[in-house]
Amino acid sequence: MNILLRITGVLFIFIITTLLTPFTTDNFLINTIYVVSGIMFSVGMSAIFNFNLNGINNKQVINQVRDNINGVKKSFIFNFILSTLSFILDNVLKSKNIIAFPIAFKEKIGEINFSILFFLIVLYTIIYFIINFNEIKRLNDDIYDEVNKIL
């Protein structure tokens, strides 16, 4: 999925959530979800670094799999950096008592709560990690099936 489309989706959910619902976040929630993100990142990176290419004899297939794995690795790193920056910004803004930004057009419509945005970004990265875990597993299964298929 295009990254611009994903970012637009997160921003849309953020605007709807912050303007139309009373949902708020607290330090416990953002800390907990960030810890979950960190654990998933480390497990994902472990799966990537321990990916087994044994049994593959075709150099072209090996290069293709390595390229795919490197792409997933870069995505994991990017998403964890995004998650970490969100966590840091949330804490910095809260320490400066900057919680929300009022939205007005002729009269006050609502407030944009920054903590909700940062929460949704971290939640997005967790969902992304889960999707990639499934892709890594599927790739591993496909390689196993191909190497062990009956000729």
Higher-confidence residue of 93 and 18: namely 93
Taking residues 131-138, report their average pLDDT. 88
Taking residues 109-127, report their average pLDDT. 83
**Would you say residue 142 lies in a domain?**
yes
**Would you say residue 47 lies in a domain?**
yes
Assess whether pLDDT exceeds 70 at residue 108: no
Alpha carbon 42 to its chain's center:
13
- CA dist 117 and 15 (Å) reads 8
Count the domains in the chain. 1
Percentage of the residues of the chain whose pLDDT score is greater than 90: 22
Q: Helix count (H) and strand count (E) of the chain?
A: 4, 2
What average pLDDT does the structure give for the chain? 83
**Would you say residue 11 lies in a domain?**
no
**Would you say residue 21 lies in a domain?**
no
148 phi and psi, to 5 degrees? Answer: -105, 15
**Would you say residue 13 lies in a domain?**
no
Q: Which of 19, 9, 37, 6 is nearest to 123 (CA)?
A: 37
Buried b (16+ CB within 10 A) or exposed e, 92-123: eebeeeeeeeeeeeeeeeeebbbbbbbbbbbb
**Would you say residue 79 lies in a domain?**
yes
- CA dist 1 and 104 (Å) reads 33
**Would you say residue 30 lies in a domain?**
yes
Structural contact between residues 103 and 111, judged by C-beta atoms closer than 8 angstroms:
yes
Structural contact between residues 148 and 34, judged by C-beta atoms closer than 8 angstroms:
no
pLDDT for 150 equals 53
**Would you say residue 125 lies in a domain?**
yes
Question: Which residue range is the domain that position 36 belongs to?
Answer: 26-98+113-147
